[in-house]
Amino acid sequence: MTMTIRQVPAHEAMRLLPLLRQGQAFHAAALPDVFRTDQGDAELGAYLEEWLAGDGVVALAALSEAGAVIGCAVFEIEEVAERPLLRARRNGLLKHIVVDADHRGAGIGTRLVAEVKARLRADGIGRVRAHHYGFNAASAAMLRRAGLVPHVVTVEGDT
């Protein structure tokens, strides 16, 4: 499949809304007490636009030959200050990655991560981090294929 990847400016945030809704529905099905699905397009669109306008936030869209958004990734630059036990560093933090349900399994997510990594390298950043929920085996596998492996494991439970 031929596709292109391009940056999505904040004023085009609404183009990502259908994919955001797919990702949100997937997460809400597994964790309904955590994830909301009741927001309207205006509310979510405003949230996306404000977020994408932030410093160090970059959204990428994978576009089909026809120009449809079939995947997206949003990443941020993470500045970690030096502390007594840790060195200062800059990381890329992959916050969201979603591939349209009809296009999964075609390597789009892996290509988006490769583009994120290339852009970070161009900015002098040599490390990228990502988080995913334990139930999301597809994300875990895709991130592994893209060269991201577990580093810090977070566990949680009810009190």
What is the pLDDT at residue 107? Answer: 93
- Beta-carbon contacts of 23 under 8 Å, excluding residues fewer than 6 positions away, are 96, 98
Per the CB < 8 A criterion, the answer to whether 59 and 51 are in contact is: no
What is the pLDDT at residue 2? Answer: 87
Q: Which of 13, 11, 21, 27 is nearest to 100 (CA)?
A: 21
Domain that holds residue 92: 3-145
Q: Looking at the 3D structure of the chain, how many domains does it have? A: 1
Is residue 46 assigned to a domain? Answer: yes
Is residue 50 assigned to a domain? Answer: yes
pLDDT level of residue 154 (50, 70, 90 thresholds): confident
Is residue 24 assigned to a domain? Answer: yes
The CATH number of the domain where 110 resides is what?
3.40.630.30
* Mean of pLDDT values over 48-59: 96
Is residue 123 assigned to a domain? Answer: yes
Is residue 157 assigned to a domain? Answer: no
Is residue 159 assigned to a domain? Answer: no
What is the pLDDT at residue 37? Answer: 93
The pTM for the full model equals 0.92
What is the pLDDT at residue 152? Answer: 87
Structural tokens at position 5: 């990847």
Whether the predicted pLDDT of 81 surpasses 90 = yes
Average pLDDT score over the chain:
94
Is residue 101 assigned to a domain? Answer: yes
What is the pLDDT at residue 34? Answer: 94
Instruction: List, for residues 85-144, the tens digit of each pLDDT value.
Output: 999 999 999 999 999 999 999 999 999 999 999 999 999 999 999 999 999 999 999 999
Torsion sign across C-alpha atoms 112, 61, 22, 43: positive
Q: What's the rounded Cα separation, in Å, for the pair 78 and 89?
A: 8
